[in-house]
Structure formats: structure tokens, C-alpha cells
């Protein structure tokens, strides 16, 4: 049955709603390529997204896809993985979905460490509602909801993830497809919660953080001599220092996954026979005599 | 002399151990063959604050609170001050006179006070003041004729975990209490319990019955956030589910909990959460998602007094509107309400089967006076439980491109593929979608899809729990209620009947989709309809009017002070109307 799939096999027939030039096109292309390279099967892949331009992505990836409510992709993805640990589970969202309305879940998904890959497409603005400031918008960023300039300091999602106990922290840029595909593959291969933040410019509303701006403001951690992604202190340093934005695998470590700590070696829950009554059921009530 | 019918109230400060002793007494009554109901009236704090624990024992099943407290075990003066007016004339108080003295102001001539230095006996004779609760059990047992053998056996079993020394201390405490009665009092309590047969019965809390029902129904995933009075369900499942291959997650909030349940349901696992009003409010948006994605989920709602924080440890039935009407947009949903601990088990099983067969969210509505109350019940027939997974696709014959996850069907239910199934891949979008799950705002599709989903409310009717019709079905006076009010209503009925006022009672068990025909048939020919519920606005009464139409002879019997009804409160209102009618006839 192991026919080799190509990136095209992970495409759907659904036409895209994204604007021409949107950074998210690069993300879906890399995701499909990564899935093909890793030999994923659509039937055994669950792809969970939230709301916003980013949330549309689940409709463009051939799999068991779930496009839920705003900000809650991670609880859904965590539960899908627990319900059927044999699945490859990928979640995706934007900076608003993940770092604003879903920020609470983000931190807790990180600390639980389920084997889920989480792609955050960061365009530093709210695209689908037409260009308001987002949790990653720069201080002073002028929008319809911040006409005097955004008064809120931007959140550093990857630093938050590191502080919360993240086990795989990476960042890509949507005009670097090859590097992005490799990051996504490494994230899927990582046994634990893997976050890949992708700088994904909004060509319609964000006139500050453009492709050109990013090209001038990113660098690769692999360019740092002797950079070791297992060095937590160094990773924190890199993530929080002012100046250019680091790309690549910034931090990685191995610790037990949520499934390993809860389900252990037991079979996938979704495959259990619940129709045949367990012989032990009746005995439970003996404690209530 | 009152035989085999007693309501004992333990009153004192929270955290003083009265819970363990209360449970112990409930167990003794049960083992003596009596029917038991308990009610916890605790403050929302861990230590301190007046608390009381009521244990009702009698000979008819499914009791609730009695009219009055028969025996108050008061560990401080405050307990007497707070509860003296609830005492039955002829009742008695066991008062711990170690530290405080009874004042004339709290005495009642028709209530006898047994002043016993409980704490002093515990300290001086047993050497441990903590066992004063057990001393009080010795006093009570002697006064009402508790079976000594059963008491000793139960004490031994309750304290087994703590070792021989603790068992011995407690047995000596019981004996010291009994001896004090013999040495100091000639006055009979006026109550006598006789030992009958305890055969094939259980004593269980409503929340435990719900959780047990869920496990047997095949629930293997639960996510929840601790909230009174629903946490017991989460804790029970955390203990048992892993032994059956399941998993329980304590979520970071109710938003996460409900979305996890939906995720597990999407992946093909029977899943639930348990919550109360405030958590229910947070879950509202996602429940709409479950409705539109046609994912089976079960939500256990253990209602408490609202709004906002309200009174977290007190009972109320004020969430009915919320369960039925909350949420933006329209989805098919089901609200079912058990009225006893036994029904809490069976109706939870039903909830899972309806949820999966019709691919809808199902609420099991309980309330503090039922979910945190213990009651006696017949052994549960676990073997009779069947699990109906509905149109779950498992045969691997699906062909991608042909499969329609949201296919338009006659009963509104579409074949459901879950991840891992060959050929079943689809998009589950919270946005409106066509039969393949592709997002569309096409007007014609929207109409068809709304109608398909809502059609399930009709096709599921045969599977919905039927109401219980209790009492004299030919009586002119009709009573409607649900949940924990079953107990006090049935008791009120029995006593009204013996006063020559027969009544019929519809204990509703499906509240949504509203069983219009059931209610219409029930009220036909009634001279008066009383709707009994624990809220201010008469939510069920309004719901009946909303669906059935104006009913001039229908009125509400309401209580909203955080406490469950006592039968007399229901009887008085019905009797008043009955008397007024008779006066008119004369």
C-alpha cells in the first residue's frame, strides 16, 4: 500500500481565499512538500487550524482537517493526538490565533508536550478583519484600531515557548521554501510539541514588515559559530536580543510526551472496542455497598 | 414514636470532620435496610464557616429532604441558632456542651435538648478531641436505636485504612457516647429505627453515578476544569478511565476542556466534560462548533446557584434556559435531566448513545442537591447497557471523492468517518459547508444544511428518555418538575393523597428537544398545573408556555434560596389552591 506520494497528493481542490503574494502560500507549499518527503498518509494525518487568514490553511491540505473556533486549535490538536496517538497531528494558526485569543492554550500546550507540530504564520497584523494590530505588531504600528500607534509591546512567542518548557523551537521565513520545508520536517519528526513560527508577510495590510524588510532583518542561527540548539541559555539569548530576527532550529530537547506520560504503551484509544462490555464494569459498584 | 423515618443534621464548622461521620451514619442507615438521601450544605471554603450535612432515612425510595429536621447534632451554638426553626416539633438536639452553654433564646419548648460534652468526652476518655464526631454517633445511635453490630462493622471498615489504633479509638468513642446517654438521660428521643434487610443495593453520590455511567457507555476521554459541584466527575474518571485504556486531562480552562472534548470526538472517541454554570458559559461558543461539525459530545452540567460566582456550593435550577438557548446561531442539541442517582447512571449512558447516534452535543443536567447527594439505589444493571455507535464508518469501504461526510439524509444523520479511516478524509469547518465539508455561503446549500442538521431533533424523538408519570394519573391537580425535585414532590404527593388530595406528577427527563406531546397529554383535563423548580423566573414554566401555549391554570412553585425543597413547601401551595377551589365550589 506504500505508494510514494508527492506534494501534489496533499493538495485539495478547494480554491484559495488568500491574496496573491500572501506569505501563507509558501507555508502550504512547504507543508505539502514536507508531508510528501516524510511519507505521511492523508488518512493518518490530522490537520487542525483556528480562525483568521491562517486558519484557512486546513482546507488546502488533504487530510482529516479541522477548522475550529478562534484560538482553540491547540486543545483540539492535543486531544486528537491523545485520542489516536498513531496519527500525525499538525496544528496551524496565525499570530492573533496563537498569541492573542489562544495565548493561554499556547503556553499549556507547550508545557504538556504532546507530539504535535504547531505552525504559527506570523504576519504581524490581523488580515482577515482588514489590518488591525496584532500581538506581534511593532510598538507604534498604526492601524484602524491603533490610529495613534500601537501602544502594546510585541510578544515574543518563541521566548514564551522556551520559558514554558518548549522542546522544539524553530523559525522560518516564507520566502525561503527549502529551509522552511526542512524545519517542518524536523518539527514533525520531533517527538514532542514542536513549534515552527514562520514570518509570513501580509502583502495587503502590513506595509512595514514586507518581504524586503524581512530579507534585510533576518539571519540564520547556523551562521553563529558553534551554535548548539541544545543550549537553553544561548537559545534564550538569541531569541531575546535586539536586532535581527533569528531563523532556524533555535532550541531542541527531548522530554517525555503527554501521550507517553498518560497512555504509555497502551493502544490508541480510538481503536478500543467499547461495544463489548468490560467484565470489570460490574465490580466497580462493590465499593458502594 | 416515629419509626424508621428520620432526618439527622450535623451542624458545625467546615473542616471539623463531620463529613466522614455523616457518610458513616448514611452507611449505617443503609445497612439497616433503610432508604437514604444525603444533602451537603457547605460554605464555599475549606475551613471554618457554618456547615451542615443532612442525612435522611426512611422506608420509601428516592427520598429528598424531609419537612423538618428531626435530630440536630450541634457542635456549636451557632448551629442551634441557625437551624432551631427548622426542627420538627417533638424533635431533639444533641448539643456539644463542652465549651458553650445553651441560651434561653435558642431553646424551644417542643424540642428536647440532650446536652452532652462531646469534645470533653473525646478528650478526657478517648484522649483525642478529634473523635467528638464519633462520640456524637454513639449518642445518636443509642437514642434512635441504631444497630450496634452494624455501627461497629461500619466504623471498622471506614477507618480500616488508618489502622487498628484508629479503629479502636473510634469504637471506644462510640461506646463512650452511648454510655453517657445511659448514665445521664431517661428522656426517650421519640424515634426508633428497626433493622431490616439490605439486599442488593448501593449507596452512591449522583456525580459518581454519572461518571460510572459514562465509563460503562464507553467514554474514554474526559477533559475538565475543576469547578464545584462538578469536580467529582472529573476525579472519578481520572481514577477509573486509565484502567480501561482512557485518558483524563485537567485543562487550563473550560475553553480548552470543551475544545479537547470536541477534538477527541472528531477522532472517534466517546468524550465528555463536566462543569457548572460559569464553565458552561465559557463553553458556549465551542458547543455551537460541535453542533455544526456534527461531532458527538456529552457535557455534564452540575448546576449551582448563579449568576456569576453566585453560591457555588448551593443548589439551583437556573441554568435551563442557558443550556437550551445559549449560543449564537442554531444547532440541534439535547438536554436530559435525571431525577435520582439511579437515573444519573442510566441517563448518562443514554446521553452517549444519543450523542453518537445523532452526532449532536448532549447535556446531562444535574444539580447540587442531586449530584453531590448520596442515595440508596438498586444495584446497577451494567450488563443491560448497550453501546450504539450509530453511523460510524469502520469498514474501510469509503472511496475518497465519493464520500460525503455531511451527506443530506432523511434522518439528518450522515456517515461519520474518523481519522485513520481509508478514503474518509474531509474538512470539518466551523464555517457553513457543503456535504463534502467545503466552505460555502451558497444560499440554497445553507437552507438544505440547516434543515438537515435540525431534522435530527425530530428523528431522535424515539430515543429520547420518556418522562415518568407518577401518582394518580386521573387526578385533577397536575405537578410538573425535574431533577432533584422528584424526591420532595413524590413525598408531597403521598401525603396530599392521604389528606384526600390526589395529584399526578410529570417528572420530565428530556427537556430539549421539548417533549411537547408528552406535556400536552399529561396536562389534558387538569384543573391546576403546578410547575415546581428552583429558580426565580420559573424557567420551566415559561418554557412550557413558550411551546405549549398559554395555560391560565398553570402556576409556578419556586424556591431560590440555595436549598432544595422540603415536601411541606410544595404541599402548602397545592393545598392552598385546593382549598380555594373547594371554597368556590361551596
Q: Model confidence over B443-497: pLDDT tens digits?
A: 999 999 999 999 999 999 999 999 999 999 999 999 999 999 999 999 999 999 9
A274 contact residues in B (CB cutoff 8 A): 217-218, 220, 270, 387
As a whole number of angstroms, the distance between CA B548 and CA B559 comes to 24
- Which cell numbers in the block locate residue A228? 548548539
The residue of chain B nearest to residue A45, with distances taken between CA atoms, is B419
As a whole number of angstroms, the distance between CA B265 and CA B359 comes to 10
Q: Which of A76, A101, A283, A286 to mutate to test the interface with B (most CBs of B within 10 A)?
A: A76
Do B120 and B218 reside in the same domain of the chain? Answer: no
Give B43's pLDDT tier (boundaries 50, 70, 90). confident
Of A67, A269, A270, the CB nearest to B428: A67
| A78/B203 touch (CB, cutoff 8 Å), yes or no | no
Task: Identify the H or E element spanning B526.
Answer: none
Residues of chain A with pLDDT > 90, as a percent, come to: 99
Do B169 and B25 reside in the same domain of the chain? Answer: yes
Distance between A274 CA and the closest CA of chain B, angstroms: 5
Q: Are B24 and B173 in contact (CB under 8 A)?
A: no
Burial of B483 (0-12, 13-18, 19+ CB in 10 A): buried
**Residue B586 has what pLDDT?**
58
Which letter does DSSP use for residue B463 in this model? G
Show the beta-strand stretches assigned E in B237-371: 247-250, 271-275, 297-303, 334-336, 361-367
| B259/A72 touch (CB, cutoff 8 Å), yes or no | yes
- Which cell numbers in the block locate residue A103? 495565548
B246 contact residues in A (CB cutoff 8 A): 269
pLDDT digits over B77-135, tens only? 999 999 999 999 999 999 999 999 999 999 999 999 999 999 999 999 999 999 999 99
As a whole number of angstroms, the distance between CA B193 and CA B34 comes to 9
* Number of domains chain B is built from: 3
Q: Are B339 and B509 in contact (CB under 8 A)?
A: yes
Give A2's pLDDT tier (boundaries 50, 70, 90). low
Q: What is the DSSP string of chain A?
A: --PPP-GGGG--SPPP-SPTT-THHHHHHHHHHHHHHTT--GGGEEEEE-SSTGGGGGGGSSSEEEE-STT-HHHHHHHHHHH-TTSEEEEEEEHHHHHTTTHHHHHHHHHH--SEEEEEEE-SSBTTTTSB--TTSPTT--BTTBTT---SPPP-HHHHHHHTT-SEEEEEETT-HHHHHHHHHHHHHSSS-EEEEEE---TTT-SSS-HHHHHHHEEEGGGSTT--TT-HHHHHHHHHSSSSEEEEEEEE-----HHHHHTTTSPPGGG---SSPPTTTGGGGGGG-
pLDDT digits over B533-556, tens only? 999 999 999 999 999 998 989 999
**Residue B502: inside a domain:** yes
As a whole number of angstroms, the distance between CA A186 and CA B74 comes to 67
| B427/A59 touch (CB, cutoff 8 Å), yes or no | yes
Mean pLDDT (chain A) is 96
Q: What residue has cell string 469501504?
A: B397
Distance between A118 CA and the closest CA of chain B, angstroms: 16
B427 contact residues in A (CB cutoff 8 A): 12, 14, 58-59, 65-67
| A87/B289 touch (CB, cutoff 8 Å), yes or no | no
**Residue B49 has what pLDDT?**
82
Give A10's pLDDT tier (boundaries 50, 70, 90). very high
The residue of chain B nearest to residue A265, with distances taken between CA atoms, is B245
**Residue B576 has what pLDDT?**
87
As a whole number of angstroms, the distance between CA B487 and CA B505 comes to 11
B269 contact residues in A (CB cutoff 8 A): 83-84, 269-270
Which CATH superfamily includes the segment(s) A18-288?
Thiamin diphosphate (ThDP)-binding fold, Pyr/PP domains (3.40.50.970)
As a whole number of angstroms, the distance between CA B348 and CA B218 comes to 11
Q: Where are the domains of chain A?
A: 18-288
**Residue B145: inside a domain:** yes
Do B189 and B208 reside in the same domain of the chain? Answer: no
> Rounded mean pLDDT of A174-184?
97
Give B12's pLDDT tier (boundaries 50, 70, 90). confident
Q: What residue has cell string 467546615?
A: B14
As a whole number of angstroms, the distance between CA A149 and CA A160 comes to 24
Of A79, A107, A282, the CB nearest to B263: A79
Q: Of B241, B184, B282, B443, which Cα lies nearest the Cα of A71?
A: B282
B257 contact residues in A (CB cutoff 8 A): 75
In this structure, how many other beta carbons lie within 10 angstroms of the beta carbon of residue B186?
A: 6
Q: Of A75, A45, A81, A46, which Cα lies nearest the Cα of A268?
A: A81
Q: Are B201 and B375 in contact (CB under 8 A)?
A: no
Residue A244 pLDDT > 60, yes or no?
yes
Mean pLDDT (chain B) is 96
In this structure, how many other beta carbons lie within 10 angstroms of the beta carbon of residue B581?
A: 14
| A285/B418 touch (CB, cutoff 8 Å), yes or no | no
The residue of chain A nearest to residue B429, with distances taken between CA atoms, is A67
Domain carrying residue B176: 2-199
> Rounded mean pLDDT of B30-40?
97
**Residue B523 has what pLDDT?**
96
Of B217, B247, B389, the CB nearest to A82: B247
Task: Identify the H or E element spanning B150.
Answer: helix B148-158
Q: Which of A274, A277, A278, A281 to mutate to test the interface with B (most CBs of B within 10 A)?
A: A274
**Residue B13 has what pLDDT?**
84
| B428/A77 touch (CB, cutoff 8 Å), yes or no | no
- Which cell numbers in the block locate residue B449? 444544511
| A79/B267 touch (CB, cutoff 8 Å), yes or no | yes
**Residue B399: inside a domain:** no
Of B249, B251, B420, the CB nearest to A86: B420
**Residue A1 has what pLDDT?**
45
> Rounded mean pLDDT of A167-193?
98
Do B33 and B149 reside in the same domain of the chain? Answer: yes
Residue B585 pLDDT > 50, yes or no?
yes
**Residue A3 has what pLDDT?**
67
In SS3 terms, B464-516 reads as CCCCEEEECCCCCEEEEEEHHHHHHHHHHHHHHHHCCCCEEEEEECEEECCCH
Distance between B254 CA and the closest CA of chain A, angstroms: 11
- Which cell numbers in the block locate residue B398? 469509503
Cis-peptide, bond into residue B279, ω within 30° of zero? no
CATH number at residue B90: 3.40.920.10
A62 contact residues in B (CB cutoff 8 A): 425
Do B71 and B168 reside in the same domain of the chain? Answer: yes
**Residue B458 has what pLDDT?**
98
Residues, chain A, total? 289
**Residue B249: inside a domain:** yes
Spatial CB neighbours of A225, under 8 Å, sequence gap ≥ 6: none
As a whole number of angstroms, the distance between CA B276 and CA B560 comes to 17
A75 contact residues in B (CB cutoff 8 A): 223, 251, 255-257, 259-260, 263
Of B217, B264, B425, the CB nearest to A43: B425
Do B314 and B180 reside in the same domain of the chain? Answer: no
Burial of B472 (0-12, 13-18, 19+ CB in 10 A): middle
Phi/psi at B201 (5° precision): -125, 165
CATH number at residue B580: 3.40.50.920
A263 contact residues in B (CB cutoff 8 A): 245, 247
Do B207 and B189 reside in the same domain of the chain? Answer: no
| B439/A270 touch (CB, cutoff 8 Å), yes or no | no
Q: Which of B419, B422, B433 to mutate to test the interface with A (most CBs of A within 10 A)?
A: B419
The residue of chain B nearest to residue A287, with distances taken between CA atoms, is B202
**Residue B538 has what pLDDT?**
98
* Max intra-chain CA distance, chain B: 87
Do B213 and B137 reside in the same domain of the chain? Answer: no
Residue A76 pLDDT > 80, yes or no?
yes
Residue A78 pLDDT > 80, yes or no?
yes
| A59/B438 touch (CB, cutoff 8 Å), yes or no | yes
Of B215, B249, B259, the CB nearest to A76: B259
Do B46 and B19 reside in the same domain of the chain? Answer: yes
> Rounded mean pLDDT of B495-510?
96
- Domain boundary residue, one of B378, B399, B416: B378
Distance between A215 CA and the closest CA of chain B, angstroms: 35
Do B153 and B190 reside in the same domain of the chain? Answer: yes
Of A58, A104, A282, the CB nearest to B382: A282
- Domain boundary residue, one of B354, B378, B402: B378
**Residue B575: inside a domain:** yes
Residues of chain B with pLDDT > 70, as a percent, come to: 100
| B263/A65 touch (CB, cutoff 8 Å), yes or no | no
Which letter does DSSP use for residue B84 in this model? G
Distance between A28 CA and the closest CA of chain B, angstroms: 16
| A82/B218 touch (CB, cutoff 8 Å), yes or no | no
- Domain boundary residue, one of B342, B360, B378: B378
Distances (CA, A) of B311 to A50, B41, B53, B304, B479: 35, 11, 17, 7, 28
> Rounded mean pLDDT of B203-229?
98
Of A75, A87, A267, the CB nearest to B256: A75
As a whole number of angstroms, the distance between CA B480 and CA B506 comes to 5
The residue of chain A nearest to residue B431, with distances taken between CA atoms, is A67
Complex ipTM: 0.98
Give B19's pLDDT tier (boundaries 50, 70, 90). confident
**Residue B41 has what pLDDT?**
86
As a whole number of angstroms, the distance between CA A172 and CA A180 comes to 5
Distances (CA, A) of B383 to A271, A280, A284, B216, B501: 22, 11, 13, 9, 41
The residue of chain B nearest to residue A43, with distances taken between CA atoms, is B420
**Residue B445: inside a domain:** no
Residue A206 pLDDT > 60, yes or no?
yes
Of A83, A262, A281, the CB nearest to B264: A83
Do B21 and B133 reside in the same domain of the chain? Answer: yes
Amino acid at each position: 500500500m506504500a505508494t510514494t506520494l508527492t506534494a501534489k497528493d496533499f493538495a485539495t481542490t478547494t480554491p484559495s481565499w488568500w491574496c496573491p503574494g500572501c506569505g501563507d502560500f509558501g507555508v502550504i507549499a512547504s507543508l505539502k512538500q514536507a508531508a510528501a518527503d516524510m511519507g505521511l498518509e492523508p488518512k493518518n494525518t490530522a490537520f487542525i487550524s483556528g480562525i483568521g487568514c491562517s486558519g484557512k490553511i486546513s482546507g488546502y491540505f488533504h487530510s482529516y482537517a479541522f477548522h475550529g473556533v478562534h484560538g482553540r486549535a491547540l486543545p483540539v490538536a492535543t486531544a486528537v493526538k491523545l485520542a489516536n496517538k498513531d496519527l500525525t497531528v499538525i496544528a496551524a494558526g496565525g499570530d492573533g490565533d496563537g498569541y492573542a485569543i489562544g495565548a493561554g492554550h499556547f503556553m499549556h500546550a507547550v508545557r504538556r508536550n504532546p507530539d504535535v507540530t504547531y505552525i504559527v504564520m506570523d504576519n504581524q497584523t490581523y488580515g482577515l478583519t482588514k489590518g488591525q494590530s496584532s500581538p506581534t505588531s511593532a510598538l507604534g504600528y498604526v492601524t484602524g484600531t491603533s490610529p495613534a500607534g500601537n501602544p502594546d509591546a510585541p510578544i515574543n512567542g518563541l521566548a514564551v515557548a522556551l520559558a514554558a518548557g518548549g522542546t522544539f523551537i524553530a523559525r522560518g521565513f516564507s520566502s525561503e521554501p527549502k529551509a522552511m520545508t526542512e524545519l517542518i520536517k524536523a518539527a514533525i519528526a520531533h517527538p514532542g510539541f514542536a513549534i515552527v513560527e514562520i514570518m509570513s508577510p501580509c502583502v495587503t495590510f502590513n506595509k512595514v514588515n514586507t518581504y524586503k524588510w524581512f530579507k534585510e532583518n533576518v539571519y540564520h542561527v547556523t551562521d553563529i559559530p558553534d551554535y548548539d540548539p541544545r543550549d537553553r541559555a544561548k537559545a534564550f539569548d538569541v531569541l531575546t536580543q535586539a536586532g535581527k530576527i533569528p531563523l532556524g532550529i533555535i532550541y531542541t530537547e527531548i522530554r517525555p510526551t503527554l501521550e507517553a506520560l498518560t497512555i504509555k504503551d497502551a493502544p490508541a484509544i480510538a481503536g478500543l472496542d467499547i461495544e463489548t462490555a468490560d467484565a470489570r464494569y460490574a465490580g466497580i459498584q462493590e465499593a458502594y455497598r | 414514636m416515629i419509626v424508621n423515618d428520620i432526618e439527622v443534621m450535623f451542624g458545625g464548622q467546615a473542616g471539623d470532620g463531620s463529613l466522614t461521620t455523616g457518610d458513616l451514619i448514611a452507611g449505617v442507615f443503609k445497612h439497616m435496610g433503610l432508604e437514604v438521601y444525603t444533602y451537603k450544605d457547605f460554605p464555599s471554603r475549606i475551613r471554618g464557616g457554618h456547615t451542615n450535612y443532612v442525612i435522611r432515612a426512611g422506608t420509601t425510595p428516592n427520598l429528598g429532604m424531609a419537612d423538618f429536621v428531626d435530630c440536630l447534632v450541634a457542635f456549636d451554638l451557632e448551629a442551634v441558632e441557625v437551624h432551631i426553626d427548622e426542627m420538627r416539633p417533638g424533635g431533639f438536639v444533641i448539643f456539644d456542651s463542652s465549651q458553650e452553654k445553651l441560651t434561653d433564646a435558642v431553646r424551644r419548648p417542643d424540642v428536647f435538648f440532650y446536652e452532652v460534652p462531646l469534645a470533653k468526652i473525646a478528650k478526657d476518655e478517648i484522649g483525642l478531641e478529634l473523635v467528638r464526631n464519633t462520640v456524637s454517633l454513639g449518642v445518636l445511635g443509642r437514642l434512635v436505636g441504631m444497630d450496634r453490630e452494624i455501627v461497629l462493622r461500619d466504623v471498622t471498615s471506614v477507618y480500616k485504612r488508618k489502622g487498628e489504633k484508629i479503629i479502636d479509638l473510634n469504637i471506644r468513642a462510640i461506646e463512650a457516647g452511648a454510655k453517657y446517654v445511659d448514665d445521664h438521660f431517661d428522656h426517650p428521643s421519640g424515634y426508633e429505627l428497626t433493622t431490616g434487610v439490605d439486599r442488593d443495593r448501593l449507596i452512591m453520590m449522583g456525580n459518581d453515578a454519572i461518571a460510572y455511567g459514562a465509563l460503562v457507555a464507553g467514554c474514554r476521554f474526559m477533559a475538565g476544569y475543576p469547578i464545584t459541584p462538578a469536580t467529582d466527575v472529573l476525579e472519578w474518571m481520572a481514577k477509573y478511565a486509565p484502567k480501561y485504556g482512557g485518558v483524563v486531562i485537567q485543562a487550563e480552562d473550560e475553553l480548552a476542556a470543551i475544545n479537547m472534548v470536541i477534538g477527541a470526538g472528531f477522532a472517534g472517541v466517546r468524550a465528555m466534560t463536566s462543569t457548572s454554570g460559569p464553565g458552561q458559559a465559557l463553553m458556549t461558543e465551542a458547543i455551537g462548533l460541535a453542533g455544526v461539525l456534527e461531532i458527538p459530545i456529552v457535557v455534564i452540567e452540575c448546576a449551582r446557584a448563579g449568576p456569576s460566582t453566585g453560591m457555588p456550593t448551593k443548589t439551583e435550577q437556573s441554568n435551563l434556559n442557558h443550556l437550551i438557548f445559549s449560543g449564537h446561531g442554531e444547532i440541534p442539541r439535547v438536554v436530559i435531566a435525571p431525577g435520582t442517582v439511579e437515573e444519573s447512571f442510566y441517563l448518562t449512558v443514554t446521553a452517549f448513545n444519543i450523542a453518537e447516534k445523532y452526532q449532536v452535543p448532549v447535556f446531562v443536567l444535574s444539580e447540587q442537591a442531586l449530584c453531590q447527594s448520596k442515595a440508596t439505589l438498586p444495584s446497577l444493571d451494567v450488563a443491560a447497557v448497550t453501546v450504539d455507535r450509530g453511523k460510524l464508518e469502520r469498514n474501510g469501504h469509503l472511496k475518497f471523492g465519493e464520500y460525503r461526510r455531511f451527506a443530506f439524509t432523511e434522518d439528518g444523520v450522515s456517515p461519520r468517518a474518523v481519522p485513520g479511516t481509508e478514503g474518509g478524509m474531509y474538512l470539518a469547518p466551523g464555517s457553513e459547508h457543503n456535504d463534502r465539508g467545503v466552505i460555502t455561503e451558497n444560499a440554497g446549500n445553507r437552507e438544505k444544511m440547516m434543515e438537515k442538521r435540525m431534522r435530527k431533533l425530530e428523528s431522535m424523538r424515539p430515543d429520547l428518555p420518556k418522562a415518568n408519570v407518577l401518582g394518580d394519573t386521573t387526578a385533577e391537580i397536575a405537578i410538573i418538575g425535574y431533577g432533584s425535585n422528584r424526591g420532595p414532590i413524590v413525598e408531597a404527593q403521598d401525603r396530599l393523597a392521604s389528606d384526600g388530595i390526589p395529584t399526578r406528577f410529570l417528572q420530565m427527563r428530556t427537556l430539549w428537544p421539548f417533549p411537547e406531546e408528552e406535556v400536552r397529554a399529561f396536562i389534558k383535563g387538569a384543573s391546576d398545573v403546578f410547575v415546581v423548580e428552583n429558580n426565580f423566573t420559573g424557567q420551566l414554566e415559561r418554557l412550557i408556555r413558550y411551546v405549549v401555549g398559554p395555560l391560565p391554570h398553570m402556576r409556578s412553585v419556586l424556591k431560590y434560596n440555595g436549598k432544595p425543597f422540603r415536601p411541606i413547601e410544595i404541599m402548602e401551595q397545592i393545598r392552598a389552591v385546593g382549598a380555594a377551589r373547594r371554597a368556590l365550589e361551596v
